[in-house]
Structure 1
Amino acid sequence: MRNTILKSGLLALTLISTITSCSKKEEGYTINGKFTDVKEGIVYLEFTDGEKKITDSSTINNGSFTFKGKVSEPLLYVIKLKGAEFGTRFLLDNETITFEAKKDSIQEAKFSGAKQDSIYKSYYKNEFKEVNDLVAPVYKMADSLTQKGKVKLTSEQKAFLDKRWEDLQAQGDKLTEEFIKAHKDKLAGALIINERVVTLGTPEKVKEYYALLTPEVQNSFYGKKVKKEIEIAEKTAIGATAPEFSQTDVNGKVIKLSDYKGKYVLVDFWASWCGPCRKENPYVVKAYNIYHEKGLEIVGVSLDDKKELWEKAIEKDGLTWNHVSDLKGWKNEAAVLYGVKMVPTNYLIDPEGKIIDKNLREEALHSRLKEIFIKK
């Protein structure tokens, strides 16, 4: 599973910037934009953090458009054409910025004058790219050894590949740490913690890096986001009382976590569209079949937003335990409460309602359950 996390991490987009007070020289921002292949139309400026919100629109005249406004501090926005699903994301500060792009490759837009965006891209083009460039050969090696999934790896081959992935992870972690330390007085530090370490690192590392940030950065929009993640991590740490939640099952019945008080329960966050989740499901089925009669319960919390796909996946994978969802996707209220940033994620809770383990995968799940129920 460490390979899945690493691969997803290496593909994850990194976001950085600096604080407004260090670079703000203008009263507001001006974006002078140009599409080389769009003469007329409408273009939107959209705030992307949390609820997406179109904050402004501009008419394209002979390929050109302009946005004017003011932000309280550098924030992530998207420029996108009307009717388009995707746009290009950038860090907007109170600067005079020029933008140039083509309709079908807007994500490769060129910005100039955007100092905050330039810092963001420096991480992506340097630290991120350095490790990412080393990934392709490992993928190629894995495909060659498995003949693209047709041949099972020997234990020696698996150990060799695992070591390569671990080395890459360590190298990526080192570069990320160096960047955070070098930018502890800038929003770049907070953003890297939030986008890389919160998702792929440990709660201990998040707390350690957050403490390095200057008070000004800690009090920024993105600094406060990191602090919130620390608070969530503390509430869902091993030894903490599992936060209560309730959602409806596939039949509309409300199920509460507290309904399982007195039993061991595995809260399993997953989704029908999640490949690693579907790959993990047979191990969860095996665990349930072995330990359910001994006292194990499972509650599947789906991050789906389409009930039909959710129900089909439950049936196809033979998941016979209780399943709940509010069908809000990544905004699933239980997932937000537990700070879930990737799926699958799970929490093992004891009869007293305490979290005793989390993120148990494959045989590790079976080993932990065997340890628990053999003692009983």
Structure 2
Amino acid sequence: MKKTILQSGLLALALVTTFTSCSKKEEGFTINGSIPGQKEGMVYLEFVDGDKSVVKDSAKIVEGKFTFAGKVEEPMRYSIKLKGQEYGKIFVLSNETIGFTAHKDSVYMAKLSGATQDSIYSSYYKNEFKKIQNVAGPVYKLSDSLTQNGKVKLTAEQQAMMDKKWKDLQTMADDLTFKFITSHKDKVAAALVLEDRLVTYGTPEQVKEYFAILTPEIQKSYFGKKINEGIKLNEKTAVGTTAPEFSQTDINGKIVKLSDYKGKYVLVDFWASWCGPCRKENPNVVLAYKTYHDKGFDVLGVSLDDKKNLWEKAIEKDGLTWTHVSDLKGWKNEVAVLYGVKLVPTNYLIGPDGKIVAKNLREEELQSKLKEIFSKS
């Protein structure tokens, strides 16, 4: 959890929005847009789900003005962007009259008025999250200074000091997020913040605890259902459960199965060549491998790369001498999806019996856990 506090889906199976002419304004939404300096052109309204988007409507810009009208079954994430632009303004759309004002070269920074659901959601990042960032910044800076960006090992005293700072920071972040979700438990904003901050960066126990706070209506919402699916997936990969079996090809095209490692302790390590924190953690995994490999410990790297040459170069450069597999589908890596991996690095320590012993062992925690296991054997 130490360094994941500040680190920021699949397409919907059914259409969640219907666009119709609305006889009464309160029955649907109206977006009145203004882009000064953009006299004409096309603007698009897109449904956003994770890193995917679907165009749901388009409108002509006339003298810098445009209008969208329609209806959503529940508040959802949408974006508005100009034709030819990669990024648009992402916001929570609900059935109300919304004002949209943007500069043609920075539509993603548009200002909204009347978007009440989006305003509640945004308030978390303007207030609670900003407070977390203000405290976290100096802690990260101190850590990088003491370790010289990971090149120097901390003394016992320095480690104890940093552990306390990370713990205090986490406690503060949890408290602020918990209070926000509690005070907005009947709003979709609470589910969105829970999905943003806890599903990816929190513990499965926290996610279940915070989800239980939400009202039944929000739990049954689109985002509530997604969170509940994540909870069920986490339960399938909880400590003590049998690790889901999988197979994937290594760098030479040979199929490797998790069951090939039965009888050993194996660290299934999800990483990627483009992941800075992964590359920073790699020397620690190398140390663990060299120390305990002859005693029955192994590592199986699962890469979320999509370019084989970069994957192979990283393996060679970082001296990762264990077996590596990937289907080169990036975040859609089938093993990562099976295990519900939302960020990298993520790892699972699996015992000789195929059951999960521990999750997300980092830095000294990995060494300590392996020392505990192999000192008994």
TM-score by length of 1: 0.88
Aligned-pair distance for 1:146? 6.8
- The match for 1:358 is 359
Give the gaps of 5 or more residues in structure 2: 9-16, 18-23
For residues 288 and 158 of structure 1, do their structure 2 counterparts lie closer, same or farther at Cα, with a shift above 3 Å needed? closer
Q: In structure 2, do the counterparts of structure 1 residues 310 and 147 end up closer, same or farther at CA, with 3 Å as the change threshold?
A: closer
Q: Which residue of 1 aligns with 2:21?
A: none
Give the C-alpha shift of residue 48 in structure 1: 1.7
Q: Deviations over 1:97-155 (max 9, x none)?
A: 11111233333210011111111111111211222233344455556667888987655
Does structure 1 retain, via aligned residues, the 8 Å contact 2:117–2:187?
no
The aligned residue for residue 129 of structure 2 is 128
Change (3 A) 1:305 1:55: farther
Q: Which has the higher contact order (CA 8 A, sep 6+)?
A: 1
Q: After superposition, where does 1:130-209 map in structure 2 within 5 Å?
A: 130-139=131-140, 155-209=156-210
Structure 1, 271-280 or 329-338: larger mean CA deviation: 329-338
Partner amino acid, structure 2, of 1:368: K
8 Å contact from structure 1 (residues 236, 243) kept in 2: yes
TM-score normalized with structure 2 length? 0.88
SS of match in other structure, 2:321: coil
For 2:54 and 2:252, the matched residues in 1 are separated by: 33
Report how far residue 305 of structure 1 moved.
1.8
Shift of 1:255: 2.0
Aligned to 2:250: 249
2:116 maps to: 115
Partner of 1:5: 4
Q: From the superposition, tell whether residues 146 and 115 of structure 1 become closer, same or farther in structure 2 (CA, over 3 Å).
A: same
Q: Name the residue aligned to 1:65.
A: 66
Alignment of 1:39-54 (within 5 A): 39-50=39-50, 51-54=52-55
State the partner residue of 1:37: 37
Deviation, structure 1 residue 292: 2.1
Structure 2: distance between partners of 1:249 and 1:34: 52
1:72 is displaced (CA, Å) by 1.2
| Equivalent position SS for 1:178 | helix
1:15 is aligned to none
Trace 1:281-296 onto structure 2 (pairs within 5 A): 281-296=282-297
Mark the runs of 5 or more structure 1 residues left unpaired by the alignment.
13-19
Deviation at 1:224?
0.6
Please list the CA deviations of residues 200-233 of structure 1 after superposition, one character each: whole Å capped at 9, or x if unmatched.
2221121112122221111111111111111011
Which residue of structure 2 aligns with residue 16 of structure 1? none
Residue identity in the other structure for 1:190? A
Determine the C-alpha separation between the residues in 1 that align with 2:319 and 2:282: 9
Using the alignment, how far apart are the partners of 1:218 and 1:188 within structure 2? 12
Whole-Å Cα distance in 1 between the matches of residues 227 and 148 of structure 2? 42
Q: Distance in 2 between matches of 1:319 and 1:109?
A: 45
Q: CA RMSD in A?
A: 2.5
Report which of the two has the higher share of helix: 1
2:281 aligned partner: 280
- CA distance in 2: counterparts of 1:147 and 1:370, whole angstroms: 26
Contact 2:121 2:190 (C-alpha < 8 Å) held by counterparts: no
Q: Alpha-carbon deviation of 1:52? A: 2.4
Q: What is the DSSP-based 3-state SS (H/G/I as helix, E as strand, rest coil) of the residue aligned with 2:173?
A: helix
Q: Is the 8 A contact 1:268 1:298 kept in 2?
A: yes
Whether the 8 Å contact between 1:31 and 1:66 is mirrored in structure 2 is yes
Equivalent residues of 1:6, 1:165 under 8 A apart: no
Query: What secondary structure does 2:358 align onto?
Result: strand
> Which region of structure 1 is more displaced relative to structure 2, 283-292 or 114-123?
283-292
Letter in 2 for 1:41: G
Aligned length: 362
8 A Cα contact 1:264 1:297, kept in partner: yes
In 2, the alpha carbon distance for the partners of 1:189 and 1:109 equals 23
Query: Is the CA contact 1:26–1:94 (under 8 Å) kept in the aligned structure 2?
Result: yes
> Are 1:373 and 2:369 an aligned pair?
no
Structure 1 pair 338–25 and aligned structure 2 pair: CA distance change class (3 A): farther
Instruction: Output the amino acid matched with 2:59.
Output: S
- Is contact 2:117-2:188 (8 Å) kept? no
CA offsets per residue over residues 230-255 of structure 1, 9 Å max, x none?
10111111000101222222222222
Asked whether the equivalents of residues 267 and 298 of structure 1 are also in contact (C-alpha less than 8 Å), the reply is yes
- The residue that corresponds to 2:56 in the other structure is 55
